Chain A
Amino acid sequence: MTTPQAHPGTTTSIDMPNATARSEDHRSVADVRHLTKVYFTRAGDPLLALSDISLTLHRGEVLALIGPSGCGKSTFLRILAGLDDDYQGDISWRRGSEQGRPVSATVFQQESLFPWLTVEQNLDVALRALGCAKPVRIERTTSYLELAGLGEFLKAYPHELSGGMRQRACVARALATEPLVLLMDEPFAALDAQTRVVMQQELGALLERVDACVLYVTHDLEEALTMGDRVALMGARPGRIKYTVDTDRQGMTRDDVMGIRSRPEFGEQVRDLWNRLAVEVGGNLRRHA
């Protein structure tokens, strides 16, 4: 078991006094420098999954990461989540004065609540893992589940809830740990189209209220442009950041999903991003053919 406080990557540093000199950016919570990940095939041949990724995550910012399937988005997220510590490069977390907070918490693509625990217990056990005292656990469990609109379902078991409610509980569980960075791996990909839009509205409203840094992985262009303050486009084989763009919601809040999407500028951004993504997807297909 690793602790989320310090992912034991060989070159990970946490707030080393001298390391901060590299970046003047006081808003940064995580610096990824020259991250490279190599897999080995059954035959023992090296396969470059991620190549030289450099990225800075900022306080209070939602960074949406898009890319063709198989481009290494999930691999990247697993490394940040501390689920894979076999990589080259450097990830440094800037915790500042907020010791005791985990560096990251993850919302997985599939439903990941423990079915043998109630919703409340699912959050409680995650907070116990952090070493929170009981009053803190009770306070956070209640307030974050209420924030996620599940205040009436504390004692319910996951199988008694709808798919959307379960995924909201997963978001609440991750937020309750109050991480530096919230990692979301295509959190709504398993939901139907209508529920997905509703969930985007609800998550949007939630993100307006909590000042968290979010890395939001998706393959949905419109979702990326609606949820993200910044969108990073990943190219495939090997996975690397090809293009980064700031989104402009023109003062609209994130939960106004349809409002954001009905602006003509939104359509232009989608088209522009699609043209760039299509090159990657097409290239990927040609390589497979």
Chain B
Amino acid sequence: MTQVLHSTDASVAQIPPEVEASRRSWARKRRMSRLEQVGLGIGVPIALIGIWELASAIGWIDPIFFPSPSTVADRAWKDAANGTLAGDLGTALRLTLVRLLIGFAIGTVAGLIIGLAMGTVRAVRFGLGPLVSATYPMPKIAVLPLLLVLLGIGDASKIALIAIGVFFMVALNTLSGVLYSSPLHHDVARAFGFSRPLYYRYVVIPSAMPSILTGIRLGIGQALILVVSVEFVSSNDGLGYFIWNAWQILDVPRMFVGLAVVLVLGALAAWLGDLAERRLVPWAKR
């Protein structure tokens, strides 16, 4: 049967020798386009930092509030050498990461469960839909006072706030992933008599997976925003407090060091998201 489809006769169809040159140019083009992508991604931020450095050196911007990048780097280097960076910033980072990860985990699990339930059970969708839509656009930091009353001023209220922010992102994206998955795949499951566990494991979750991952990536961003915000207003430790405290004592270079760490966390999260996507949805076209 297959012979009919693949009946290329090797003696007739020879790859011409000139192809080597065109293969080289094809490989060069591919390399260049990859180089271009990475180069621009790194080059543009470096150029902007260069402009900032230059503007600071010429005196276009106030070095008190906008210290030059070299000043900030120099400060980070000195603090690292005398151990204060590892001490202060290390502790702050550790506390923030614990809040971030616990809140993120709780919010993701809750969002997945509620999102899947809303996507597959009509009663749940109709019952919770209006409530979720109404509460979603509210700035999450606005419920902090309520959480403080309910959970106290410790880590619990901060973790809860982060979890809420992540929950909405994951739940809403999971829901739309389930609702907009191909009806054909659901028909296949029905026509072949899938049991409920098989249906969830092999149809519902995989078909919603690209959207679930989008929700998780947006959730990480939310978590980062919320953890720093809540540490600004209601904490005496963590990265947010580190930044806010540096600002209050007008130690601006130190503030920029804190901001740089938040930046690196964001980049790291985005990279992990890419990695997860490549592993979990290998069939999706990029």
Contact = CB atoms under 8 A, between A and B. Distances in A.
Nearest to B203: A114
Contacts, number: 80
Interface residue SS majority, chain A: loop
Interface in B215-255: none
Contacts of B187: 83, 108, 112
Contact of A4 (B192, B198, B282): B192
Contacts of A191: none
Interface in A1-49: 1-5
A254 to B, nearest CB: 13
Contacts of B4: 198, 201-202
A116 B281 contact: yes
A258 to B, nearest CB: 12
Interface residues of B, number: 27
Nearest to B206: A116
A125 B198 contact: yes
A87 B248 CA distance: 74
Interface string A112-128: 10111100000001101
B283 interface: yes
Given A114-B188, A159-B283, A164 B5 contact: yes
A92 interface: no
B206 A126 contact: no
B193 interface: yes
Contacts of A114: 185, 188, 202-203, 206
B282 to A, nearest CB: 7
Interface string B169-194: 00000000000000011011111111
A149 interface: yes
A149 B7 CA distance: 14
- Indicate the size class of the contact surface on chain A: 35 or more
B279 interface: no
A108 B195 CA distance: 20
A201 B199 CA distance: 34
A247 to B, nearest CB: 23
Given A112-B184, A114-B185, A202-B1, A102 B202 contact: no
A4 B191 contact: yes
Nearest to A160: B283
A108 B182 CA distance: 13
B23 interface: no
A171 to B, nearest CB: 12
Interface in A83-133: 83, 102, 104-106, 108, 110, 112, 114-117, 125-126, 128-130
A105 B192 contact: yes
B184 A83 contact: no
A177 B184 contact: no
Contact of A106 (B191, B195, B202, B206): B191
A149 B198 CA distance: 28
B14 interface: no
User: Of residues A104, A114, A177, which shows the largest number of chain B Cβ atoms within 10 Å of its Cβ?
Assistant: A114
A113 to B, nearest CB: 8
Contact of A130 (B193, B199, B207, B283): B193
User: Of residues B4, B192, B198, B203, which shows the largest number of chain A Cβ atoms within 10 Å of its Cβ?
Assistant: B192
12 contacts: A1-B189, A1-B195, A4-B193, A82-B190, A83-B187, A108-B184, A108-B188, A114-B202, A114-B206, A117-B202, A125-B194, A158-B283
- The list of the 3 closest CB pairs from A to B, nearest first, reads A116-B206, A4-B193, A149-B1
